Amino acid sequence: MSLYWPTPNTAFIEGKPEATYLQPTASGRLESALFGCTRNDGRRFHEGVDLKPLKRDRRGRAIDPVFAISPGSVVHVNRIGGNSSYGIYVVISHHEDGLEFYSLYAHLASVASGLKAGETVVAGQQIGIMGNTSVSIRIPHSRAHLHLEIGLRLNSRFDAWYQRQDYTEPNRHGSWNGINLQGIDPLAFYRQIMADTEASAVGFFLSEPVSFRVAYHFSNPPDFLRRNPVFSPSRPSSIQAGWYQIGFNPHGLPLEWHRIPDSTIPQAFEKGKVHLLEVVDPPESCARWVHSKNRTWVPSEALVRYLEILSAR
């Protein structure tokens, strides 16, 4: 697999210091631009990486073009910055041997003319201009950046779940709403692909460690697994309704799926509830997927909601 860097600033690829390509938050701390529990002194999770511009116009506005990192199909274009905390953003879907993953380009100043959902793009194709658009906070021009996110979509039927909730804002982004997207570390992804000419996106996701495992019942074949049969050991014939043992990586990606025969399910297990089987390695604290109660690990409300999204129909 070959990857294209999403901006003209190739300092990361050249092995230069982080300060040459990362754009920190107002805190000034470089780690705030990285993926993970890097915000608010480690209390808030950041789903992607924030990349700084190389060039600005006379008014100090970023003017760097933004490029597609890999061949794929445009699946969502939001041209109204006030409609999302991502601001103006583009999502591209990529497919590789039973894997569907996405790349997301946020806080754009503008989207390339004519770019629309359904269009096929090639690696390195310009899709927009770096900017500072957002809805929840005002990003000053001095901190304009590209928020690059790479990950997996939980459920293509997400909107049906969203409509049953008590959200006051309409869902303007379909299944490409940020609630329905779960990221991986983009820089780790690039490092692994760059280090080995035989490396693949599938190999990266399958190499992720398992942090905890749960048992959960799906009344329909899991949509996530149908689109990503690479995570089923007997793909795709075993993708059906029923009980599954699911292994999650430390960042909440459901990357290990095993169908559990109904005859082996304990009588105490209830459909619609998340049954935590084991915690192999506790995830980062800010992720809050599981927590300790009376010296016993229990699923968090966030994990319960997560499984509700995964099983929505």
- The domain ranges of the chain are 18-194, 208-311
Average pLDDT estimate for 53-59: 96
Going by pLDDT thresholds of 50, 70 and 90, the confidence category of residue 197 is confident
User: Which structure tokens are listed for 192?
Assistant: 């692994």
What residues pair up with 67 in beta bridges, in sequence order?
126
Going by pLDDT thresholds of 50, 70 and 90, the confidence category of residue 288 is confident
Going by pLDDT thresholds of 50, 70 and 90, the confidence category of residue 282 is confident
Fold of 18-194: Glucose Permease (Domain IIA) (2.70.70)
Going by pLDDT thresholds of 50, 70 and 90, the confidence category of residue 295 is confident
pLDDT(136) > 90? no
Average pLDDT estimate for 180-206: 96
Average pLDDT estimate for 274-295: 87
pLDDT(237) > 70? no
Other beta carbons within 10 Å of 96: 17
Going by pLDDT thresholds of 50, 70 and 90, the confidence category of residue 1 is confident
CB within 8 A of 8, min separation 6: which ones? 54, 55, 64, 65
Give the pLDDT confidence score for residue 284 in this predicted structure: 73
Asked whether the beta carbons of 252 and 283 are under 8 A apart, the reply is yes
pLDDT(149) > 90? yes
Taking only the tens place, the pLDDT of each residue in 246-259 is: 999 999 999 999 99
pLDDT(3) > 90? yes
289-304 burial, b at 16+ Cβ within 10 Å, e below that, comes to bbeeeeeebebbeebe
Token pair 């909107």 in the structure block, residue: 159
Give the pLDDT confidence score for residue 87 in this predicted structure: 96
User: Which structure tokens are listed for 231?
Assistant: 């995570």
Give the pLDDT confidence score for residue 235 in this predicted structure: 62
Using CA atoms, how far apart are residues 244 and 6, in angstroms rounded to an integer?
A: 37
User: Which structure tokens are listed for 178?
Assistant: 């940020």
| Lowest pLDDT segment from 42-51, 190-199, 279-288 | 279-288
Taking only the tens place, the pLDDT of each residue in 217-228 is: 999 999 999 999
Asked whether the beta carbons of 275 and 216 are under 8 A apart, the reply is yes
Going by pLDDT thresholds of 50, 70 and 90, the confidence category of residue 294 is confident
pLDDT(285) > 80? no
Backbone φ and ψ for 116, nearest 5 degrees, come out as -150, 165
Per the omega criterion (within 30 degrees of 0), is the bond before 236 cis? Answer: yes
* Pure H helices in 171-272: 186-195, 201-206, 223-227
pTM of the model: 0.96
State the pairing for strand pair 242-248/212-218.
Answer: antiparallel
Give the pLDDT confidence score for residue 236 in this predicted structure: 64
Q: What does the mean pLDDT of the chain come to?
A: 94
Taking only the tens place, the pLDDT of each residue in 94-118 is: 999 999 999 999 999 999 999 999 9
Region of 112 please: left (phi>0), alpha (psi -120 to 50) or beta. Answer: beta
